[in-house]
Amino acid sequence: MDIATGRYQCADFFGIVERIPDAKYILAHAVGTQTEPPVVDGYLDAIEERYGKIPDNFWFEIRDFSSPGVRSALRRVSADRIIAGTDWTTRVGPPFLPYGMIFGKIEDNPYPPCIDAMIGFLRQEGASEEEIEKIGFGNAAKLLKI
């Protein structure tokens, strides 16, 4: 298994899915990092190899909206299955980092960490306004029944 492609992480995950097939799963950190190829591609390849398609009980969290993985996720995953993460804003602090920071970029984050920037990255990758609304809060609200 190759940790860089996500296959290593998927091995344990698939075991859980097989033991509890009716659960709903959020793949935290699935869409993030600034790497090429995007890490999410490895996860998606492994999932598609195993199941033939993305199961209806999987959701993919966007960690970094500036990641090239956003492009992959929007191309390969239904917008109904992508959610915005609140990933680890408490990693440093208090005081806590603003929502939208890239890990390790406190002084030199390449964009202002704000909702407008994250929406801009989704638009840049071709997400429609309806898809942005779903990713921003609609999908999580529906999943969590709030």
Domain total of the chain:
1
The per-residue pLDDT for 1 is: 43
Q: In a structure prediction context, what are the per-residue pLDDT tens digits for the chain, which is 146 residues long?
A: 455 556 677 888 999 999 999 999 999 889 987 788 888 998 999 999 999 999 999 999 998 899 999 999 999 999 999 999 866 677 777 888 788 877 766 678 888 888 999 999 999 999 999 999 999 999 999 999 99
The per-residue pLDDT for 2 is: 52
| Separation of alpha carbons 5 and 50, rounded Å | 15
- CB within 8 A of 38, min separation 6: which ones? 31, 67, 68, 69, 71, 72
Q: Would you say 40 and 69 are in contact if contact means Cβ atoms under 8 Å apart?
A: yes
Provide the residue range defining the domain that includes 74. 3-144
| Separation of alpha carbons 82 and 60, rounded Å | 5
Helical pair 39-51 and 69-76, crossing angle rounded to 10 deg: 30
